Amino acid sequence: MAKTSSKKNAAKKRDNQNVVWKFPLDKTDFTWLAIGIGIVALGAILFATGITEEPAVENGTWNNFFAINVAPFITIIGYCVVIPMAIMKVFSRRKQAKQQTTNE
């Protein structure tokens, strides 16, 4: 009886040594994340260009085309497209890895 428990302990130790944990995000994911943060920062800078001494004209419209039209579009692209793409690409890799293991 003592021999079987020692064999089980040896098998557990051997299995634990083979476990390698890999961080799910790699260099390309972090690169895309940095690009997304840069795009959001660019949008914030363009928003700030609308801050002037007289930002509006007499009829109530804004002077700055970039602060009104371009900056919101760029910021939305960064928040809603690029940053989620950097994070969610991981799931496609996991799905591909599962398919490869099931095919083998």
Domain range for residue 59? Answer: 26-93
- Give the CA distances from residue 34 to residues 37, 53, 72, 73, 81, in Å, rounded to whole numbers and listed in that order: 5, 33, 19, 18, 13
Residue 50 has pLDDT above 80, yes or no: no
Based on the structure, what is the number of domains in the chain? 1
In a domain, 77, yes or no: yes
In a domain, 11, yes or no: no
pLDDT over 80 at 63, yes or no: no
5 found inside a domain = no
Average pLDDT over residues 82-98: 78
Q: Residue 89 — very low, low, confident or very high, per pLDDT cuts 50/70/90?
A: confident
- Is 65 inside any structural domain? yes
- Asked if residue 52 belongs to a domain, the reply is yes
pLDDT of amino acid 94? 67
Does 98 map to a domain?
A: no
* pTM reported for the whole predicted model: 0.63
Count other C-beta atoms under 10 Å from residue 38's C-beta. 12
